[in-house]
Amino acid sequence: MARLRVGIDLVQVSRIAESIARFGERFLARVFTAGELAYARARPERLAARFAAKEAAKKALALDGVSWRELEVMRDANGACELVLHGRARAAAGDVALALSLSHEGDFATAVVIASDP
C-alpha cells in the first residue's frame, strides 16, 4: 500500500518582497532557480507561492539539509505547476510521486504538496 505524506505552507507576499528589497539578487539566487526567476521575477506573489511550495515539499518529504534550489517549481506545457527535485533532494526523496497545488490572493500565497510512495 502506498504511503501518503502531505506538506502545506502559507507565505506572506510582502515578506518575500521585503527580502528581495533587502537582499536583492543574493536572496533570489539562493532560493530560486533560473527557470523560476524567468517566469516569476516580476511578480512577488508568484515567487511567494514557489517559496511556499519548497517549504511544503520539505515538510512532506522530511527534507533537511537540502538547498532551496534543489526544489524547483516548473510549469508543464499546459501551464500546470509541478515540483521537480534535483541533487540531494531527489536522492533523499527516492522514488516518489509528487502533486503540487499553488494559490495566491492578496498578501498571501500557499502551496500544498502530496507525496506518494509506490
Q: CA neighbours within 13 Å on the CB side: how many for 65?
A: 4
Average confidence (pLDDT) over 37-49: 97
pLDDT in tens, 2-36: 789 999 999 999 999 999 999 999 999 999 999 99
Please tell me the predicted confidence (pLDDT) of residue 67: 96
CATH for 4-116 is 3.90.470.20
Rounded-to-integer distance, Cα 83 and Cα 100, Å: 6
Domain boundaries, the chain: 4-116
Query: Which stretches of 1-118 are DSSP H helices?
Result: 13-23, 25-31, 34-40, 44-61, 87-93
**Model confidence, pTM:** 0.95
Confidence (pLDDT) at 84: 97
